[in-house]
Amino acid sequence: MRRKLVVANWKMHGSLAQNQQLLDSFKAHLANLKHVDVAICVPYPYLQQAQSTLSGTPIAWGAQNVGKYPVGAYTGEVAASMLKDFGATYVILGHSERSTAYCESAENVAAKFVTAKNAGLTPVLCVGETLQEREAGVMEHVVSEQLDPIIALHGAGIFKNAVISYEPIWAIGTGLSATPEQAQSMHEFIREKIARLDPEAAMSVRIIYGGSVNPLNASKLAAMQDIDGGLIGRCSLNADEFEQICFAAENAAIKH
Ligand code: PGA
| CA–CA dist 95, 178 (Å, integer) | 17
Which protein residue has the closest C-alpha to ligand 1 atom 3? 233
159, 198 Cβ separation under 8 angstroms: yes
- Burial pattern 195-223, b for ≥16 Cβ within 10 A else e, equals beebeebbeebbbbbbbbbbbebbbbbbb
User: Best mutation site among 9, 41, 91, 126 for ligand 1, i.e. most ligand atoms within 8 A of its Cβ?
Assistant: 9
What is the DSSP annotation of 65-78? ---SSSSSS-TT--
For 31-76, the pLDDT digits (tens) are: 999 999 999 999 999 999 999 999 999 999 999 999 999 999 999 9
pTM of the model: 0.97
SS3 42: coil
| CA–CA dist 155, 178 (Å, integer) | 29
For 230-255, the pLDDT digits (tens) are: 999 999 999 999 999 999 999 999 98
- pLDDT band of residue 102 (cuts 50, 70, 90) is confident
User: Best mutation site among 10, 99, 232 for ligand 1, i.e. most ligand atoms within 8 A of its Cβ?
Assistant: 232
